């Protein structure tokens, strides 16, 4: 070997390893009614929105979920094309996919769940493929808390960060299982009404204190068009939501938020509190795109430039100069 060869061998540039994300959650059909229109049986599900949003930041996303034989195969291929691996997506041919129907009130911030058909989710036993082991980030999207904890237990090593999203349905149907899950995670994301329900406190500050005592070190409370709050120890950070001219369908906004949040953390591979503040802005950005069209339509049609432009809009929205009298 020449001296040059040996120098090149010694000083090969270190290509940084891309962090991997495992996403767990529903992949579903949704029927949605808003004051502006209706859409029947479109593709939805928490894990769908999370994976699509995260795919703009990271190309090592590994999905764990279950669908029935009625789920269109081309949707799975579309996810694959966006860098989402689906080895952990089980297809139960003779069963039906999870189905959810919701109706939004005029304020578009509140909704009624009209139907939740668990279908294939009822007997779901999540498998963690060998290629998903050693993942760096785990995003537990909204689904049965027992499935969320089963996935944590089936990973050989604890990921750097475990984020869990849940909703009132699980707080009411499986409170004990949810309590176990809370003890195992780092970040909990819920909306304001759910934070109040989970803690029994009206004040979100008091609610956050109580929830942080139950396990997670970080709590994100999403407030729809009123932004999001990040609580950690005695610190609070607030990110606004972008005032948008048109909001068509808020479905999946919370999941798109979670996808942008975890995607950005994985891309930067930095889980400090300061970086989480930036991640919340990226999460809010993805949520702002999500609501502009029905279902996942907008989320699959944006570019990286669109994202950066919108992040700039967020920066401009909250930037001001003020001189405080000493």
Applying CB under 6 A, the residues found at the interface with ligand AMP are 26, 28, 30, 44-46, 100, 116, 142-143, 167, 169, 251-255
Strand order, beta sheet including 235-239: 84-92, 61-68, 21-24, 137-140, 161-165, 187-191, 218-222, 228-232, 235-239
Of 192 and 269, nearer to ligand AMP (C-beta) is 192
Least Å distance between CB 156 and ligand AMP? Answer: 26
Q: Are 70 and 97 in contact (CB under 8 A)?
A: yes
Of 136 and 249, nearer to ligand AMP (C-beta) is 249
Q: What is the largest CA-CA distance in the chain?
A: 74
Least Å distance between CB 255 and ligand AMP? Answer: 4
**CA–CA distance, 204 with 199 (Å, rounded to integer):** 9
Of 254 and 260, nearer to ligand AMP (C-beta) is 254
Of 19 and 261, nearer to ligand AMP (C-beta) is 261
Contacts of 117 (CB under 8 A, 6+ apart): 96, 98, 99, 100
Upper half-sphere CA count for residue 48 (Cβ side, 13 Å): 25
Least Å distance between CB 102 and ligand AMP? Answer: 7
Give the DSSP letter of residue 16. Answer: P
Least Å distance between CB 234 and ligand AMP? Answer: 29
Of 28 and 262, nearer to ligand AMP (C-beta) is 28
Strand order, beta sheet including 28-34: 37-44, 28-34, 98-104, 111-117
Q: Are 181 and 57 in contact (CB under 8 A)?
A: no
Least Å distance between CB 294 and ligand AMP? Answer: 11
Find the residue with minimal CB distance to ligand AMP: 44
């Amino acid at each position: 070997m020449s001296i040059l060869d040996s120098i090149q061998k010694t000083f090969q540039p270190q290509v940084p390893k891309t962090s991997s994300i495992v996403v767990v959650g529903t992949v579903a059909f949704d029927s949605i009614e808003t004051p502006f229109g209706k859409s029947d049986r479109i593709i939805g599900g928490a894990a769908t929105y999370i994976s699509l949003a995260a795919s703009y930041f990271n190309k090592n996303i590994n999905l764990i979920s279950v669908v029935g034989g009625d789920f269109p195969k081309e949707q799975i291929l579309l996810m694959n094309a966006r860098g989402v691996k689906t080895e952990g997506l089980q297809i139960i041919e003779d069963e039906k996919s999870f189905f959810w129907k919701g109706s939004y009130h005029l304020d578009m911030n509140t909704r009624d769940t009209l139907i939740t058909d668990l279908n294939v989710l009822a007997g779901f036993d999540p498998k963690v493929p060998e290629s998903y082991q050693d993942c760096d980030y785990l995003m537990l999207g909204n689904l049965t808390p027992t499935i969320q904890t089963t996935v944590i237990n089936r990973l050989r090593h604890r990921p750097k960060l475990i984020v869990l999203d849940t909703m009132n349905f699980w707080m009411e149907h499986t409170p004990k299982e949810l309590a176990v899950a809370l003890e195992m995670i780092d970040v909990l994301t819920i909306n304001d009404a759910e934070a109040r329900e989970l803690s029994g406190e009206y004040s979100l500050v008091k609610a956050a204190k109580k929830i942080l005592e139950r396990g997670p070190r970080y709590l994100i409370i999403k407030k729809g068009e009123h932004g999001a709050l990040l609580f950690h120890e005695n610190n609070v950070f607030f990110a606004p939501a972008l005032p948008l001219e048109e909001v068509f369908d808020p479905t999946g906004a919370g999941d798109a938020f979670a996808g942008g949040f975890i995607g950005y953390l994985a891309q930067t591979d930095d889980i400090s509190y300061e970086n989480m503040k930036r991640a919340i802005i990226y999460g809010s950005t993805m949520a702002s795109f999500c609501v502009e069209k029905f279902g996942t339509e907008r989320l699959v049609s944006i570019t990286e430039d669109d994202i950066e432009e919108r992040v700039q809009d967020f920066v401009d929205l909250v930037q001001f100069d003020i001189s405080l009298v000493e």
